[in-house]
Each structure stands twice: as structure tokens, then as C-alpha cells.
Structure 1
């Protein structure tokens, strides 16, 4: 009798049941893939062909000109980050394409050969063009050209930046796969990988937001608070009763903050004022309230009005209210220019609402500037409006950058700005300014967005300070000064997907004809321009300085003031820096 011998199959060959999805076939290999997920060597994965191709395009476009020139270091970082954005977008596009069609190995190799042939040539061409564009842009802004060898340093920094970002992305991808392999025994493979991606994304965001952003904000807040408590070099407590913080003042010296102490002490002396005008001058009044001067913003505004009454501010020829930047800073060229024009017969008032930089205030604390501007402007205006019309001083209002936003929100409409003061000067308005947006949108037909005309109201725009000298007719009541190369004015989220009007047709004086709009890239480049917007020469970027003289001369010139006086005062302010 023959026996039937059954030999056990090895584990690898024995059939087994599985709750995993049905076996699938690779597009390039018809062999059945096992139920268990394969071990993927994530850190040794090759580059995505679509990712590499789009990163090369983004890398080349990063050398195209923007509003302001960049140093070799910044250009290298920008190029590396831009290439990483392109690689991420290209990889995502490739993954979507592979859901419908998986290219053969031959097609992929052809694509790689084309990229290896074309990309180095394109990079060399755009490096050369980028150097030429940067040189032309620097000449346009009156800056020194860069060295020729800076291009090599730019390439090195860009490759290092791209490599670090790619390594970070691969580590996050490896983490997602690790989490998925832990979950794959409990849930289907597709759900495991989806859960792994979500877990790593949430943890990464939490680490970025909770550990990095919060700590950076806390550090910046602490550092700004320490800086605010200090006193600038050479700044000493004034003895004049016409200054806040002096003996007899209602505002203590210690409560002014660093920028407040600078504000009240940096006024030109009567000797300097007389030397410019050639006649006896009056000592200027400068009043300021810091964050520590009072706990409540309206109490600080009321305190300043009492200071104005104490010093006789409303008996001067001009009362000017300044909404400062985030740190409480007011440009001394702006304040001094008004004092020189009126021989010191002025009273200048300002109030701090934060000690953080304007960028952080814009992102996290716009309500603070609105509350402070509204409280101070309203308090001063109400006291001024209660005076007899024939005995009032001129009421002027000034805002720069974030201060323009607070000023506009205080008045609420262009009509109220025109009637609310004798003159309002706004420099470098932000894209979030509602009145500026409305005036630009409703500008006269045929006028460019960077230098619009709004004849319905006495409102003037100037892309260059000197163009205000050619005006005819009655003086305007509101003047917007907005350099055509000021990224604070022109950056906005819509740059991500929409070509801006300031890159249509005729360009502003500072904008190169070679600057064009590219989705995502132009927004990113203009955002980077914000970093050095305050480092540009006067009249470019976010630097207005002595150009403010033209603004004051257009709004409220003193009797007998001439264009020659404007040029002479601008030269004086430029030499004094």
C-alpha cells in the first residue's frame, strides 16, 4: 500500500489569508506585489524627474529682477528656497500624473538626458543675465555694483540651501513611512500611509508653530522690551519745559521708552533753525507718551492733550500728530523738516502703541495701531476743533508704513480725511490700507496705478518726491508718497496668482522693464525685498527721509516758501545724516 507523504511548504511559499488590499501589480513589473508593504529605502530614493525639471525652472527665474537689488548671500538663499518650492510642486505634479499614467523607463531616461543637457546651460545663462540685471538695478538706485565673483558664491549658497531643505523633506518622508509601518498591521496599507502622513504633518506643524514660531516671537518680544527700556547713545533728559520727560512734565522720562526719548531730544536747536532761515527762531515743542506713561491708550492720549495745554502747543503755528511705526519710532527727518520750515513755531505729538517691529505688529497687532491712532488723533482734533476757527493752528497728521494704516482706519473714508485736518501726509502705505485701495481702484482713467490721479478730491499721489514741486492750483489736503520700488506698497497675497497692475504697461521710475510677473515667484521675491526695504538710498525702497520736505511743502507751505527752499532744506537733512 502506497503512502501519501505531504511535505510542508516553506513559509515563503505557503498560501495565507490576508486582510490587506488585493495584491497589485507595478506598472513596470508584472510580478505580484506581496501583501506586506515593501521596505523602501527612502533616504536613497532618486530625484523626481518632474520635481528636478520644475526646480530648475524656478531656480533660473529666481535670478530675474525684483523691486530691489539683493546681495550675493540673500540671492543664494532665495535661489535655493525657490528651487525647493519648484521641486516640491514638480514632485506633487509627478505623483498626480502617475495615478493615471506611469511612464516607461525609456521615457524617463530620455527626460533625464534632456534635463542634464539643458539645465546647466540654462543656469549659466540666467547667472549671467542675473548679474547684468542686478548691476542695472543698482545703477538705477544709485548703489555700488557687486563683484563679478559673487555669482560663484551665490551658486554655492543656493546649492547648500536646496540640499538642506531636500534633506529635511526626506527625513519627514522617512518619518511618515516609519509611522505607516507601525500602523500597517492594524489598518489597510493605504489608510496606514495616509495616517502616517497626517501624523508627521501635524507633529511638524506643532513643532514649527509651538517651538519655533512661539519661541521666536517670545524672544523678539523680550528683546524688544529690553531695547525699549534702554536709551540711545548721546540721548540725555531734556531740561526744557517744552519737552515731555523734562522736569515739570506730566510724562516721566523713564516712561517714554527708547524711541520716545529719541523723539523728544532730537529736535534741531534754535541756533540751527536760525542758521537755516536767517531770522530768530522759536524753540520747538515735542511731546510723547510711551507704553509705561499710562496703562490705557485713551488715558495716554488724554495725558498728551494735557501736556499740549501745559506747553502752549495750541498757540503755535502748526500742531502735528505723528503715528509711529511698531517700535514707536518716528523718522527725525520727517519731524525736523517741519520744524525747519516753520522756524520752530511747531508742536509735534506722538504716542507709542508697541515696542515690536512693524512687521510683527502688522501680522499680530494691527488693532493696536488703530486704537492708538484713533485715540490720539481724535483727542487732539477735538481739542483743536473746540478753538475759534480764526485762532486755530494748522493741524497736520503724518503716518508712515503701518502708521498710514492706523490713520486711514481712524478717519474711515477719503472724504473725512480731507475735512478732518489741514493736511495729511502718508508715506509708504501698506496693501491693507482700505482708503488707499479705494482711491487707487477709482483713479482717473489712463493714470498708472503707481502714480494715480483722483480729481474728485484734493488728494495727491507721488511716486517721486520731486514731482510734487510741479503742481499747480490750490494745495492738496492729503498726499500719498509711494516710491515705485517700495515693496511695502506693492506686495500683496494676490501676487501669488494674479499679475499686478504695476507690472502692466508703463512701469514706475524704479521698476526695470525686465521685471515680469511669474506665479508664486514674484510674490516670493517681492516679500524678500521687504527685508532690505529700509536699506535703500533715499527716494527708493521704503526710505523717504528728506523727500518728506516736498510732501510738507505741497500740503502746508509756510508764507514765502519756495522750491529753492525745499532743495536747500533737503540738502541740509541729507548732509546731517
Structure 2
């Protein structure tokens, strides 16, 4: 007990005071409801950061020459005030945090957790904070030796900062050079093994219009897990006709896996060969899709295209990694860009040689890391407009270009979460199909950035640490808790935690992009003889594939 009390006495009161403030901030709402363990992590990190800032602030004051020592009576009063504030604020904000999360869950249609679980959140958060604080103390202890050496040449404060900086730099180099590489090596082996599996219910297609079929140049086993799912799924001609009432042909889906060739250009060559084999360049629309790391393609967007075009379409994609998007990005930021560029250039080389009147519409699509990669094939909005017939870029990460530049240069008065660019002449941003309706004429080609105001993948940025973004200063989206506020350091960790849950919410929120793809693609393609009833029927089926629709007669 005596040792435990001595341990508690080792905490600086200024650090504890700021840690308490950061604790209250960490429980405020963010973009999405948080699962309890992510809340505990965000709160623990926030407490540790608050403690570190409080201690650092006190030491800066002392180094500045303010060294007045409070009396014992003043110290006791200070500790009692801190204890009283803790006793009041900790349970109060635990209850408020549960209340705010209940509201956030209601806004996105997610079942609420038991409010009692916030007791576990608090305990786990304190444990995380203590571990991080101890790690910080360990770094400070390691910096003592270089600090003592530095005092011979520079003042004490400079020597201490230099010693700590040296330890941090060496530690980061070790983590970045050894730790991350080791982690990625383990992840790569696990991902490769998972990629050999086939999802339950997925069977090799028999249609020659699909890669992996007996007629295909791409072996079924080489497509990867997500590639096999992509070519095996989607509506067939008969189903398209049953839903839309329009005579349909068999849609084309081609894909090449990362193990199908040794280099990205060779994999892309395999995709082009499949396009030529299936007659894809004779279809009305050709979608060139940059996938996420391991080859995932948004099924709602792919299915929507095939319903809208009555199967007169082709979708092409290729895998460039075994890793999921976050790890693929950490491992290599250039490969997604290179994959997007190489595939589009290979397809464009064949497409551009066709007589202009006989070319299919060339449209680029990508989601998340796929959107980042797809934009790597184009230098600017003007480049997309000059080379393509359309683009659908979904849930684009903040670091992607030209998204970032286009957003920053948006028309004055428009929102960061839904920018207006050149009055919407070619490029429009939308959270739902209704957002595409702007006063000015929408000229071809049409480019759409589909993004939700509550999508942390789009809004996560290191800038959140110290700067309030425009999207938080502006009116928030309808599915975001109106109590959300920007808070230094804390909002960054909240949005970071949100990313883990971003795809686990119902479609239309966060990073879940679903049936709204129908209306978005209708806006891009502007198909003749398409009506709102057709959009409604397809959206209904995409939301619930088990839905039984009333049969339609011949095309009206």
C-alpha cells in the first residue's frame, strides 16, 4: 500500500489537472458512434496526452524562472480541489458520454450499448493512460545520459530537449525500420494465406464474359479472394430484365490477380487481354476500377452499373496487394497510384485507337484507397475532363490528389464537406443523389466525388491535432451529433478511433456506400429511358437482395 501511495504521489498535479480536462473532452461525440473499446483507447490516449502537456507546461514555466513554491496549505487545498473536480467530472462525463453516444447511434441507426459499459471504458482508459505515461517516463529516463553529456556544451533546458529528441528519433527509426517491417511481414504472410481462400457461397462462373470462367485467360485460383467474389457475383442478364423490364445482355466482369504476373504492367496487360477476349470494347460503357489493396470493388456500384445499362457494360479491375487497405498504404504508398495509372494507361491505349463513334464511354471508379489510386492516373480535374467520359470516386481519403486541391479551391461560400467546383460544370460532390442537383447545367463528362459528411476516412488528417477544419466549423451533416466540437489533440484521436468502425454502420453513413450508387450513376451516365421507378426498384434490391419485386412486363 505504501508503495502504491508513493507511486500516486509521483504524479504532477498540473499534469493530472490537464489530463482530467482531456478526459472530459475525449467523451464528447465525433463523426460516428464508437464501440466501447475504441472509446476506451481514445480516452486513454487523450488522458496521457493531457498529462504530458500539463507536465510540460509546468516545466516550461519553471524553466522560464517562475519558481515560487506553494505552501503546504496551498498544496493541500489544490489537491482537494483536484480530487473534488475528479469526483464530480469523471462520473458526470461518463454519463454524458453514454448519452452522446446514444444520440449518435440513433442518428446512424445502430443499436445502443448498455450505458453501464462506461465503467469498463473508464477502467480500461486509465490502464491505457498509465501504460503510455510510463512509456513516456521511460523515454525521459533514456534521455538522461545524452542530457548529461550535452550540459557540458549547452544550457540545461536545451540539453534535455536535445536528449529527448535524440531518443525519440532513434526510437522512431528503429520502429519504422525494424518494427513496421516485421509487422508487415507477418501481416503479408497472413494476408497471402487468407487470399487463397474463397468466400462461402462463391462459385466459379461459367459465363465466358467473366474472368476465371473456363473460357478465361485468367485462372480462377489466381484471382485472389476478393477478385473471385467480384467475378462470381453481380446480376445476370435474366435478373436484370426481371428487375428493370428491359432486354438485357450478359454483363462483362474482368479481373487479374496479383499472382497472375510478376509486375503491375504485366498484370494490367492480362486485364486488357481479358477485355479484348470478352468484346468489352464493343459495350456502351467501360468501367476501369482501381481496387483497394487486395482487390475489393464496391459491389453496389458495380451492380448498379449493370442494371442501368441493361448489361451493356464491362468492368475491369486488378489486384496489386494481398494486404487490406490500411496496411497496403503503410507498406507502400506508391503502388496504389502506380496500379491506377498503369491500368488506365493500358486500357486507354486500346480505347483511344478505336473510331470515336464506336468507343464505349470510359469511366473511372475507385473507393477509399481505390479512389486514391484512381486519381493517381490523372493530374487534375481538367485532365479527367479531357481524357474520360466520367468518374465515380467514393470515400476519398483526405491525402488524395487532386481531391484535396479541388476541395481547397472550391467556389466561395460552398461547404468543405460538399464543395461546389466551377458552379458544378463538370465535377460535383454528393453524399446522396439529391446533392447532384445544382442550379447550373451539368455538362459531359461528369465527375462525382461521393462522400459522406460522417466518413472519417475522408476527414482524417494530422491537421486535426492543432487546427479546426472547415467541415467542423460549418453546419454538420444530418447524421452527425450536433454536440460535436473540434478540440485540440482530442478530435484527432476521436476521428482515428472512428475509422475502425467506419464501415460497420448502415449504408448512407460513415464509410458505408451502398444503394445510393444507383442515383449517383444515373447522374453520371444520364441514361435514356430511365425513370425514378427503375431507380427505386434497383435500390430496394441492393438494400435487401432477398426482396421479392413485382414482376415487370416488357419494357415500357
* Same-fold call, TM cutoff 0.5: yes
Q: Which residue does 1:276 correspond to in 2?
A: 243
The residue aligned with 1:458 is 426
1:509 to 478, 483, 495: 478
Going from structure 1 to structure 2, the CA distance change for 1:56 and 1:309 (only over 3 Å counts) comes to same
Instruction: Tell me the equivalent position of 1:24.
Output: none
Other-structure match for 1:431: 398
Unaligned runs of 5+ in 1: 1-40
> What stretches of structure 2 of length at least 5 have no aligned partner?
547-556
Alpha-carbon displacement from aligned partner over 1:247-297 (angstroms, at most 9, x marks no partner): 232222222111111111112223322210224321111110111111121
Structure 1 position 364 matched with structure 2 position 331: yes
Equivalence for 1:38 = none
Per the alignment, residue 69 of structure 2 pairs with: 104
SS at structure 2 position matched to 1:123: helix
Q: 1:425 to 1:88 in 2, by over 3 A?
A: same
Could you tell me how far 1:471 is from its partner in structure 2? 7.6
Q: Distance in 1 between matches of 2:477 and 2:6?
A: 49
Partners of 1:91 and 1:293 in 2: CA distance: 56
2:25 to 30, 53, 61: 61
| Rounded Cα–Cα distance in structure 2 between residues aligned with 1:440 and 1:127 | 37
Structure 2 CA distance for partners of 1:359 and 1:239, relative to 1, 3 Å: same
1-structure distance, mates of 2:404, 2:118? 39
Post-superposition offset of 1:352? 1.0
**What is the deviation of 1:43?**
5.8
Q: Which of these residues, 502, 506, 512, is aligned with residue 537 of structure 1?
A: 506
Residues of 1 paired with 2:208 and 2:531: CA distance? 33
Q: Secondary structure at the match of 1:434?
A: coil
Q: Distance in 2 between matches of 1:210 and 1:375?
A: 29
Matched, 1:394 2:358: no
Note closer, same or farther for the CA distance 1:192–1:368 as it changes in structure 2 (3 Å cut).
closer
Deviation at 1:436, TM superposition (A): 1.5
Alignment of 1:192-211 (within 5 A): 205=172, 208-209=175-176
C-alpha change, 1:121 and 1:437, in structure 2 (3 Å) is: same
In structure 2, the CA distance between the partners of 1:174 and 1:336, relative to structure 1 (3 Å rule), is same
- Corresponding residue for residue 548 of structure 1: 517
Q: Residues 94, 380 of structure 1: CA spacing in aligned structure 2 closer, same or farther, 3 A cutoff? A: same
Partner of residue 527 from structure 2, selected from 544, 554, 558: 558
2:497 maps to which of 524, 528, 538: 528
Q: 1:89 aligns to what?
A: 53
The residue number in structure 2 matching 1:378 is 345
Once the two structures are superposed, the pairs formed by residues 113-152 of structure 1 within 5 Å of their partners are: 113-152=80-119
Q: CA deviation at 1:51?
A: 0.8
Q: What is the TM-score when the length of structure 1 is the normalising length?
A: 0.86
Contact 1:42 1:170 in 2 (8 A): no
**Residues 1:467 and 2:431 are matched in the alignment:** no
What corresponds to 2:381 in structure 1?
Answer: 414
User: What's the secondary structure of 1:144's corresponding residue?
Assistant: coil
The equivalent residue for 2:551 is none
- Could you say which residue in structure 2 is the equivalent of 1:70? 34
What do you get for the CA RMSD once the two structures are aligned? 2.9
1:464–1:123 distance in 2 versus 1, CA, 3 Å: farther
Distance 2:8 2:103 in 1: 43
The 3-state SS of whatever aligns with 2:396 is: coil
**Higher mean displacement: 56-65 or 365-374:** 365-374
C-alpha spacing 1:289/1:78, structure 2 compared with 1 (3 Å) = same
User: Following TM superposition, by how much is the alpha carbon of 1:375 offset from its aligned partner in structure 2, in angstroms?
Assistant: 1.1
2-structure distance, mates of 1:439, 1:539: 23
Deviations 1:379-415 (A, max 9, x none): 2122122112222222221111112222222110101
Match of 2:463 in 1: 494
Distance 2:200 2:159 in 1: 61
Q: Residue in 1 aligned with 2:544?
A: 575
The C-alpha deviation readout for 1:214-267, integer Å capped at 9, x for no partner, is 332221111111112222222232222211122232222222111111111112
Could you say what secondary structure the match of 1:535 adopts? coil
Give the conservation status (yes or no) of the 8 Å contact 2:39–2:497. Answer: no
Note the alpha carbon deviations across 1:27-59, whole angstroms, 9 max, x for none. Answer: xxxxxxxxxxxxxx9967521011111111111
Q: What is the distance in 2 between the residues matched to 1:44 and 1:143? A: 40
413-422 vs 186-195, which deviates more? 186-195
The answer to whether the 8 A contact 1:431-1:488 is kept is yes
Contact 2:451 2:458 in 1 (8 A): yes
Q: Which moved more, 1:133-142 or 1:119-128?
A: 119-128
Change in CA separation of 1:201 and 1:547 when aligned onto 2, cut-off 3 Å: same
How many residue pairs get aligned? The number is 535
Secondary structure of 2:515's partner? helix
* Structure 1 position 329, deviation (Å): 0.6
Q: Deviations over 1:467-506 (max 9, x none)?
A: 3368874465101111000011111111111110001132
C-alpha separation in 1, matches of 2:474 and 2:121: 32
1:13 maps to: none
Task: Map 1:261-272 to 2 at 5 A.
Answer: 261-272=228-239
Query: Per the alignment, in what secondary structure is the counterpart of residue 411 of structure 1?
Result: coil
SS in 2 for 1:66: coil
Q: 1:199 to 1:514 in 2, by over 3 A?
A: closer
| Native 8 Å contact 1:286 1:349 kept in 2 | yes
Q: Distance in 2 between matches of 1:101 and 1:147?
A: 48
Instruction: Give the secondary-structure state (helix, strand or coil) at the position aligned to 1:97.
Output: helix
Give deviations 1:297-324, integer Å, cap 9, x for gaps.
1122222222211111111122111111
